[in-house]
Amino acid sequence: MDGDKQKIKHTDLPSGIVMSGIRPTGMVHLGNYFGAIRNYVRMQDEYECYFMIADLHSLTTHPDTSTLKSNVKRVIAENMACGLNPEKATFYCQSHLYETGELYLYLNMLAYKGELEKTVTFKDKARQHPENINAGLLTYPVLQTADIIMHRASLVPVGKDQEQHLEMARNFVVRFNHRYGEIFPEPHAFNYNEDLIKVPGLDGSGKMSKSENSMSTLYFGDDDDTIRKKVMKAKTDAGPTEANSPKPDYIDNIFTLMKLVSSDEVLTKYNNDYNNCNIRYGDMKKQLAEDMIQFIAPIRQKTQDILEDNQYLIEVMEKGAQKARISAEKTMKLVRESMGLNYF
């Protein structure tokens, strides 16, 4: 550290800034909503929020950009249909913020090959796409850290699948702060007073996902019949034979989904039926499907309405980029100064 450099102190760190993102790799689904978007909608009233369409991240696994524009617009519309308000939060596209590339570059010098290779999501994706194990995939957590700390955010509303990435982000931040000065608060995954959420897939394994397991994921774009079909296909068995027995994972998943969208009375009824060994899974799934439709159909309709106004979507993107740029320029000035990259 230069002796004459004004070292930034912890007390100067901003607090309570929120940042999160969602990839435009397909339609938004129930997992995105309960893991992330539901919190965005609540947090936008309580905090300074930055929410981003992570289009650059999607290139790590989806290099074909021919559907990117329509996917980006769809995901913007879906977020807004869920209640995200671009007047309250800064809502923008990752690729519109050129500063991200610069910060990502600096952070890459503080990230080690060994730790990146150990990341669970990297190992999973490398296994799924052995023909495309690119450096962007390896450094995904570094780019994600750049996105978060670009706004000096400390609260990151995400689902459980992102827990390890946030731990890595904290490591990169600690290294940066230690080497160049206390600029960044340590980011933490956030869910209101609760554990992080993982919405399971309908096939009893894995999680709902935009671009994998489409038959076991409930998308906000699914029509009523598709929702019914997917829910009715969920794996069940002949039912418990002993009172109060533990639930197998695939049954527990159906209860988890029911807890998200059905009333307390409905959930209690089926829990009691299970514990008394008289549960009828066919009826339970029919009920779940109808409750899902009640939940999803209005969001699907609203998405459609928003998508019809292309000019409005463009305005949202432009305004979001302008607002995000103000914050990014401020951060990058601080970063360059603290790194000693300001030569004149």
The site for ligand ADP, by CB under 6 A, has a size of 21
**Beta carbon nearer to ligand ADP, 34 or 270:** 34
Task: Supply the minimum distance, in Å, between the C-beta of residue 44 and ligand ADP.
Answer: 15
| 32 binding ligand ADP? (CB under 6 A) | yes
Q: Are 199 and 35 in contact (CB under 8 A)?
A: yes
Task: Supply the minimum distance, in Å, between the C-beta of residue 196 and ligand ADP.
Answer: 8
d(CA 34, CA 199) in angstroms, rounded, equals 7
| 93 binding ligand ADP? (CB under 6 A) | no
Task: Supply the minimum distance, in Å, between the C-beta of residue 257 and ligand ADP.
Answer: 11
Task: Supply the minimum distance, in Å, between the C-beta of residue 193 and ligand ADP.
Answer: 17
37, two tokens: 């978007």
Q: Give Dmax over CA atoms of the chain in angstroms.
A: 78
| 31 binding ligand ADP? (CB under 6 A) | yes
| 125 binding ligand ADP? (CB under 6 A) | no
Q: Which of 44, 95, 139, 162 binds ligand ADP (CB under 6 A)?
A: 162
Contact region for ligand ADP (CB under 6 A) — 32-40, 130-138, 246-254, 308-316? 32-40
d(CA 8, CA 327) in angstroms, rounded, equals 18
| 61 binding ligand ADP? (CB under 6 A) | no
Q: Are 156 and 190 in contact (CB under 8 A)?
A: yes
| 145 binding ligand ADP? (CB under 6 A) | no
If DSSP states are collapsed to H, E and C, what string results for 311-341?
Answer: HHHHHHHHHHHHHHHHHHHHHHHHHHHHHCC
Active site residues: 125, 207, 210
Q: Which of 18, 25, 41, 321 binds ligand ADP (CB under 6 A)?
A: 25
263, two tokens: 């009333």
Residues with Cβ < 8 Å from 137, sequence gap 6 or more? Answer: 60, 61, 122, 125, 126
The residue assigned the tokens 């009640």 is 294
**Beta carbon nearer to ligand ADP, 176 or 219:** 219
Closest CA to 150 of 106, 191, 184: 184
| 36 binding ligand ADP? (CB under 6 A) | yes
| 141 binding ligand ADP? (CB under 6 A) | no
**Beta carbon nearer to ligand ADP, 207 or 285:** 207
Q: Count the Cβ atoms, other than its own, within 10 Å of residue 259.
A: 13
Q: Are 221 and 214 in contact (CB under 8 A)?
A: no
| 161 binding ligand ADP? (CB under 6 A) | yes
The residue assigned the tokens 């960044």 is 184
| 44 binding ligand ADP? (CB under 6 A) | no
CA distances from 50 to 17, 19, 63, 181, 271 (A): 8, 5, 25, 24, 39
Task: Supply the minimum distance, in Å, between the C-beta of residue 95 and ligand ADP.
Answer: 15
User: Pattern 197-216, binding to ligand ADP, x per CB under 6 A?
Assistant: xxx-------xxxxx-----
Q: Which of 17, 18, 23, 154 binds ligand ADP (CB under 6 A)?
A: 23
Contact region for ligand ADP (CB under 6 A) — 87-95, 153-161, 268-276, 309-317? 153-161
Torsion of CA 4, 8, 10, 16, to 10 degrees: 180
Task: Supply the minimum distance, in Å, between the C-beta of residue 296 and ligand ADP.
Answer: 15
Strands 17-22, 90-93: parallel, antiparallel or unpaired by DSSP?
A: unpaired
Q: 3-class DSSP state for residue 191?
A: coil
156 alpha carbon, distance to own chain's centre = 9
Residues lying near ligand ADP in the complex (CB under 6 A)? 20, 22-23, 25, 31-32, 34-36, 158-159, 161-162, 197-199, 207-211
